[in-house]
Structure 1
Amino acid sequence: MSGIDLSANMLDGEIPWELGNLSHIKSLNLSNNLFVGPIPATFGGMEEMESLDLSHNELSGPIPLQLTQVSSLGVFSVAYNNLSGCIPKSGHLSSFGMDSYLANTNLRNITQGNACAPGPDPVPEEHVGDFDDPVLYAITAAAFVLAFWATVGFSFCHRYGRSVMLKL
């Protein structure tokens, strides 16, 4: 088996540390779940890992330094979690863009003096809850009803629509 994709399965609890024993896995996608707690340090033993996506969970704590030992990583994302501490400067993790770390408000970059600088920008407040807007739902429902009745009206009132309906 070369990869495991358990994304968007509403999995919760802590990520099992035993997954780190799967040393020959090349891809692990646990994104869009409800995982909490730390990233298992055992993931540093997954030496053949090429892609690791832990984004869109509720993970907390620092990024384990053991992950810097995975030199084969080409894709890495821990965006949209609750991680804290510093983004490791050593190893391969420092080569990933800030998109890999987005929306972790307590995660910081390491500066030249080994101090943590402000991290990636959090999700702008204006976009939080965009999908809970009742006006958006009302407009969508009204558009659906209007489109439905326009189709029915065309089918029964227009000459071409009637001819199509009669052929069915």
Structure 2
Amino acid sequence: MKTILWAALTANGNYAQSSPENPPKPEALQDFAMQARAAGNFIVGRRTFAGMQDSTRVAQGEQSGAGNPFAGLDIVVLSQSVKEIPGVKVVESPQAALAYLQAKGHTTALLSGGADLHNTFLAQRLVDEVIFDIAPVFEGKGLNLLLDQDHYLYKDVQLLDCKPLGSGVVQLRYSLA
């Protein structure tokens, strides 16, 4: 199964931290929805999913709403503490998430957030590609991707694509193979 990590980053390399005062760029949100529809799924961490629930109505039985960009997708939440969320599959490990999606017939899995989830998949070398939507902002506070938190790791990647998404947002796509 091909696993793609998707993240919105700032121009200075941090995870973009959205808030009501600094909402995510619409172009990045539209791109994420397009990537999720293309994969037919996404894997998300519990805290990130909780933040998504209010704005997109992805759970609580509203997954099929006409205005929901994630209607009909297989959503997998990775959590050690929560065992059940209505409308989504909850698993405890990256391997369980990938096995569930593969059993459902998916050939691609999209990792959507947050930093802990991304770093867990990266540390276990379960990511084949990364898509970074770079927002034209600098943020002094933010989280970073860590390939291996215990050892220094240097990894060459191959640029697959680079394209503007609008409003200064640029997408970079890399292969980690």
What range is the shorter-chain TM-score in? under 0.3
In our comparison, the structure showing a higher alpha carbon Rg is: 1
| TM-score, structure 1 normalization | 0.27
Task: Name the structure where helix makes up a greater proportion of residues.
Answer: 1
